[in-house]
């Protein structure tokens, strides 16, 4: 595992693609290899036990709840781990520039950083922090769920409920993985429904 010392490893993709499972497996490998590790997850993700990173297939990794990147910096300064993992990094609080700088500082200190997070929101727009971190990663893994509509590789997490907020925490009730084509078809259907429901006033 020495070849990963001071490297940035990113697991990204849509929901249900296995990115959190991959982070969990990476972290456990470092533990087995004798490295000191710390795992973190943002407090905004309250889907599972508050002290755990839990995958959709129910594997579990103990984690520390944090609000912002500053919280992680403090833990790292105190505990001095060799490896840190951050799940759902797109929900981590703090300026994008501050998160990017903190990660780069960790790498300069030869700390291995493993991140998992969504690359796109429910509208198919990039999350800013992944957009900045992906180009500077040493190892970048794009994971794919299966499109529930056609069975090909999924591209995005389509939101099934009517909510316009960018961040709505959920799982299979709220989201479904779709490929690009099926996502665009679904968006056209949704737009047609909205247009049909609009009331037009004829003012003379």
What positions carry a catalytic annotation?
88
> What is the β-pairing status of strands 60-62 and 112-118?
unpaired
Rounded to whole angstroms, the Cα distance separating 86 from 41 reads: 6
Residue 127 near residue 117 (C-beta atoms within 8 A)? yes
DSSP 8-state class, residue 153:
B
Q: Tell me how many degrees the CA angle 193-197-200 measures, rounded to the nearest 5.
A: 135
Distance of CA 38 to the CA centre of its chain: 17
Rounded to whole angstroms, the Cα distance separating 27 from 106 reads: 16
3-state secondary structure of 137: coil
């Amino acid at each position: 595992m020495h070849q990963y010392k001071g490297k940035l490893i990113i697991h990204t993709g849509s929901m249900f693609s296995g990115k959190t499972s991959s982070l969990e497996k990476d972290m456990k490998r470092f533990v087995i290899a004798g490295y000191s590790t710390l795992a973190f997850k943002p407090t905004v993700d309250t889907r599972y036990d508050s002290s755990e990173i839990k995958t959709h297939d129910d594997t579990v990794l103990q984690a520390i709840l944090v609000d912002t990147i500053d919280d992680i910096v403090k833990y790292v300064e105190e505990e001095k781990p060799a490896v840190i993992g951050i799940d759902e990094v797109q929900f981590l609080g703090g300026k994008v520039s501050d998160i990017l700088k903190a990660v780069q500082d960790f790498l300069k200190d030869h700390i291995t950083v493993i991140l998992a997070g969504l690359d796109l929101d429910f509208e198919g727009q990039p999350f800013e922090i992944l957009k900045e971190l992906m180009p500077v990663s040493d190892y970048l893994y794009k994971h794919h769920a299966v499109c529930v509509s056609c069975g090909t590789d999924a591209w995005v997490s389509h939101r099934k409920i009517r909510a316009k907020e960018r961040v709505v925490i959920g799982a299979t009730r709220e989201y479904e993985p779709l490929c690009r084509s099926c996502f665009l078809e679904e968006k056209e259907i949704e737009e047609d429904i909205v247009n049909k429901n609009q009331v037009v006033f004829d003012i003379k």
